[in-house]
A and B are shown apart, each in its own frame.
Chain A
Amino acid sequence: MANLRKNEFSVQPVAKRLKNFSEVALGLTKAQAMVECQRCPQCSTPECVQACPLGVDIPGFIRMIREGDFAGALQKIRENNSLAGICGRTCSAPCEIACILNREKNPQPIAIRSLERVAFDHGQGKSREILNAQRTNKTGKKVAIIGSGPVGLMAGANLLEDGHDVVILEALQKNGGFLQYGIPEFRLPKKVLEAELAYVSSLGVVLKHNVIVGQTETLVQLFDQGFDAVLLATGLCFNQDLEFLSCEAQGVLASQEFLFRMNFMNAHLHPKVMMTPGVGEKVAIVGSGFDAVDCARLALRLGKKVTLVHDSSEEDLQVFSVDKLFAQQEGLVLETFAKPLEIVKDAHAAVRGLRCVRVDFADKDGAWKLLAVKDSEFVVEADTVIVSGLYKANCLIANFTPELKVNRQGFLTLKKNQRMTTIPKVFAAGGVAQGILPLVEALADGKKVAEEIDAFLQGRGNKK
């Protein structure tokens, strides 16, 4: 079972949270946080900082929380990470793995991620003046960022600090990218996202929406409007998986569609809103990532019976252990070591179930592999099958911009050791350039591309 540090999690009780969509982990209180900070040994060469892809000054902000200065702590975090409230909830926290307290016999790393959240929750709104005073001299250069996901926001905030004017153009009606339409309220409340967006725009980043670059505006038009550089941060989009969705059954959908309906279109409020959740009573979910478990937990809250089919062990689920624990508490049935074979449908092409086969580790030609177990087929009863993990880089703009090249893996082609695309002055970072990444690594990529664009605009060339 997950290693839950006792004081870290005050959570909504299961019975209650199954009836709402609000945040499950309630976070530390100020007092709890201050006590937790006492445990930090304040290492002279902190390994946690080296492990954080953003290089957050962890001992620094912990000292401030210890003294009760939450606004100062937030300020400290924001020196390296403009999205503290989001990371404080959804970061995979490699810093905690590196924490030296994680190495003892009874590993008890400092709850860095939760402390980051506390700093945001209790330190907000008090640090703005300091920031505004910090603004460097303007360079007069203009950067357009396409896509308002975490990468776009991070790069935007950093470029602004470098003194450039930044406009973020988003195709959908709300900013935030995956944070907006992908991650459910119970893990990342919209209120937090809105506050982060407000923070980024308070810095001076202009956030626009309903603009599809490539269609509403082309790259050429952007340069005509006087932008000196463009960053493509268009993230990920749907990737057809022939094996599964090719089955012409009603009731098979991709995880993104269900997430989009629920998180972006508020389908849980149906019939008050017109969008329906689009799932039946018995939902089978295929996959092992964040999207699979998030879909499961959304469906559980709709009162559905949910089975998650995964072809490896429980430990191999690619989610935080606490989210797995939460999901199981909420009633998720896990079918591990089960490989989906086909969707069972009736004469009307309606889904009736998911045929699976058990797999187990076995020796094949000297290699340890997951192989099907003989005569072990079984059917998971379901009227809806949600297939997760179908992602690819969102290169939509390349459809309208032939000079923008896409490589064999489907990502935008970048210059060697750089983040510039095949079009001069056009850069790319995050999902569209690297595929699916843990949030904090995507953010780090956003930060690096900002440095590269800054160097380019200032005529410094690439540092590398």
Chain B
Amino acid sequence: MNPFQVVSKQIIAQDIKRMDIAAPEIAKSARPGQFVLVMVDAGSLRLPLPIVESNPQKGSITIVFKEESLSEKKLGSLSIGQGLYVVMGPLGNPALPQEVGTSVCIGYEVGIARIISVSRYLHKEGTRNFGILGAATKRSLIMESQMRLSSQSIFVMSEDGSVGKKGFVTDALYDVLGRYPVDHIFVAAPSKVIQEVLRVVGDPKIKIKAVMPPLALSGIGLCGSDQIKVNHAYVAVSLDGPIFDARDIDFNLYDARLKRIYG
């Protein structure tokens, strides 16, 4: 039988599911920003998914994923008590700042799942942390309450106005930047949205970190499938990431790689 059992499962938005999975070793050692590689069975892809939460006492980790590819749909179709073939992790080597005065965490749709552990970390470190959540529409917004718990205040933006304010995450960011002296911005969103964020932030003193969707095949650097360019040098997302200085990322190459591996 497969060792990694589904402990709980919840639909949290349209096509987005949240699962708790028994993985005691990983739960013990996971750090904020890390991820796991998941295989439902021997025939499915190795899906890199963010560790949203880890619970060492219960010996479980929480993952959140959008059901797009066949492998993700298969994962979503598992019921409680069923097991996963592989849960490998924790992966990545995210460097998080120790002292941050004021920070903003931006998450867009399923990207919110990648930002939440960072937001929680900053909040715990005593940072004045603001959360900005964005989605095209209400049905793809997730984890609003969890974000609220780890932020001084949050801003919810939807493109069609069906939830929160009508507009883009950058509109909210513009507001926050006008009102507070922000030191750090963390963003987990599609490349386009990150590039918009970069455009809005003029001040080069503000650090902008992107929490990228990991590209990984082996997860331990065997195949070189997840090499991207950051600051003109090659790095492996699964070894050195998935958090990088957003200003340094070569997004064209990143998107090309993403398409090649999972497209």
Taking Cβ atoms with an 8 Å cutoff, the residues of A that contact B are 171-173, 181, 210-212, 215-218, 237-240, 242, 245-246, 248, 250-251, 253-254, 256-257, 260-261, 265-266, 269, 272-275, 278, 349, 390, 394, 396, 399-400
Q: Contacts A253-B224, A253-B225 given; 15 further ones with Cβ under 8 A?
A: A171-B88, A171-B219, A172-B88, A216-B90, A237-B221, A238-B236, A240-B234, A245-B224, A248-B252, A251-B260, A256-B224, A260-B222, A272-B43, A274-B44, A394-B222
Query: Which one, B87, B221, B256, contacts A210 given CB within 8 A?
Result: B87
The reply on B26 being an interface residue by CB < 8 A is yes
Residues of chain B within 8 A of A218, CB atoms compared: 29
B223 lies within 8 A of chain A by Cβ: yes
Question: In the bound complex, how far is the Cα of B225 from the Cα of A212, in angstroms?
Answer: 19
CB neighbours of A212 from chain B (8 A): 88-91, 219-220
Interface residues in chain B, defined as those with a beta carbon under 8 Å from any beta carbon in chain A: 3, 25-26, 29, 39, 42-46, 69-71, 85-91, 93, 217-225, 227, 229, 234, 236, 239, 250, 252-253, 256, 259-260
Assembly CA distance A210 to B218 (angstroms): 11
28 contacts between A and B (CB under 8 A): A172-B220, A173-B39, A173-B85, A173-B88, A210-B3, A210-B86, A210-B88, A211-B25, A212-B88, A212-B90, A215-B90, A216-B26, A216-B29, A216-B89, A216-B90, A217-B25, A217-B29, A218-B29, A237-B221, A237-B222, A238-B236, A239-B224, A245-B227, A250-B259, A254-B224, A260-B222, A260-B223, A265-B46
Residues A275 and B221 in contact, CB atoms below 8 Å apart:
no
Determine if B234 and A238 form an interchain contact, defined as CB atoms under 8 angstroms apart. Answer: no
Q: How far is the CB of B41 from chain A (nearest CB, A)?
A: 9
**A254 to B, closest residue via Cβ:** B224
A390 to B236, CA, bound (A): 14
CA distance A181 to B44 in the complex (A): 16
Contacts A248-B253, A248-B256, A349-B256: A396 and B89 contacting too (C-beta < 8 A)?
no
Kindly list chain A residues whose C-beta atoms are within 8 Å of the C-beta of B44: 273-274
Q: Given contacts A173-B39, A399-B239, are A215 and B224 in contact (CB under 8 A)? A: no
Bound Cα distance A69, B36 (Å): 50
Q: Who on chain A is nearest to B253 by CB? A: A248
Of chain A, the residue at the smallest CB distance from B234 is: A240
A218 to B28, CA, bound (A): 11
User: For A253, what are the chain B residues with a Cβ–Cβ distance below 8 Å?
Assistant: 224-225, 260
Given A172-B88, A248-B252, A399-B93: A254 and B39 within 8 A (CB)?
no
B220 to nearest A CB, angstroms?
A: 5
- Are B220 and A257 in touch, CB under 8 angstroms? no
B93 touches A250 (CB 8 A): no
The answer for the CA separation of A384 and B25 in the assembled complex, in Å, is: 40
- B227 proximity list for chain A (CB < 8 A): 238, 240, 245
Q: Are A257 and B88 in contact (CB under 8 A)?
A: no
Q: Which residues of B contact A242 (CB under 8 A)?
A: 234
**Contact A215 B217, beta carbon cutoff 8 Å:** no
In the bound complex, CA of A212 to CA of B239 (Å): 12
Q: Which residue of chain B lies nearest to A400 when distances are taken between CB atoms in the complex?
A: B93
Tell me whether A238 and B223 are in contact in the complex, defined as CB-CB below 8 angstroms, given that A212-B88, A248-B253, A260-B218 are known contacts.
yes
Contact A257 B225, CB 8 Å, known A217-B29, A272-B43: yes
Give, as a whole number of angstroms, the nearest-CB distance from B103 to chain A. 26
Q: A173-B86, A250-B260, A274-B45 are in contact. Are A238 and B26 (CB under 8 A)?
A: no
Chain B residues whose C-beta falls within 8 Å of the C-beta of A257 in the assembled complex = 217, 223-225
Instruction: Tell whether A240 pairs with B43 under 8 Å between CB atoms, given A248-B252, A261-B217, A399-B239.
Output: no
In the bound complex, residues from chain B placing their C-beta under 8 Å from that of A181 are 218, 222
- A216 to B85: give the CA distance in the assembly, Å: 17
Q: Could you tell me if A238 and B222 are in contact, using CB atoms closer than 8 angstroms? A: yes
A327 to chain B, nearest CB (A): 22
Contacts of A245 in B (CB 8 A): 224, 227, 234
Q: Given the complex, which residues of B lie within 8 Å of A269, measured CB to CB?
A: 43
Residues of B within 8 A of A215 (CB): 29, 89-91
Closest-by-CB residue of A relative to B252 is A248
Verify B70–A274 contact, CB threshold 8 A.
yes
On chain A, the residues within 8 Å of B70 by CB distance are 274
Q: Are B252 and A256 closer than 8 Å at their CB atoms?
A: no
- CB-CB < 8 A to B39: which residues of A? 173
Q: How many angstroms between the C-alpha atoms of A194 and B118 in the bound complex? A: 42
Report whether A273 and B42 are in contact in the complex, using a CB–CB cutoff of 8 Å: yes
Q: In the complex, what residue of chain B is closest to A210 when comparing beta carbons?
A: B88
Cβ–Cβ < 8 Å partners of A173 in chain B? 39, 85-86, 88
Q: A173-B39, A215-B89, A257-B225 are in contact. Are A396 and B260 (CB under 8 A)?
A: no
Contact of A256 among B88, B90, B93, B223 (CB under 8 A): B223
Residues in chain A near residue B46, CB distance under 8 A:
265
B39, B44, B221 interface centre (most CB from chain A within 10 Å): B221
- Give A253 to B218 CA distance when docked, in angstroms: 14
Chain B residues within 8 Å of A250, by CB: 256, 259-260
B93 to chain A, nearest CB (A): 6
* Chain A neighbourhood of B88, CB < 8 A: 171-173, 210, 212
Known: A250-B259, A250-B260, A274-B45. Is A396-B225 also a contact (CB below 8 A)? no
Report the separation of the CA atoms of residues A339 and B29 in the bound assembly, to the nearest whole angstrom.
Answer: 47
- Distance of A278 Cα from B45 Cα, bound (Å): 13
**Contacts of A217 on B, CB cut-off 8 Å?**
25, 29
| Interface pair B224/A240, CB less than 8 Å apart | yes
In whole angstroms, how far apart are the Cα atoms of A172 and B86 in the complex?
Answer: 9
Given contacts A216-B26, A266-B43, A275-B45, contact A394 B221 (CB under 8 A): yes
Q: Which residue of B lies closest to A240 (CB)?
A: B234
Q: Which residues of A contact B225 (CB under 8 A)?
A: 253-254, 257, 260
Distance of A94 Cα from B242 Cα, bound (Å): 45
A174 to B71, CA, bound (A): 20
Closest beta carbon of chain A to B69's beta carbon, Å: 7
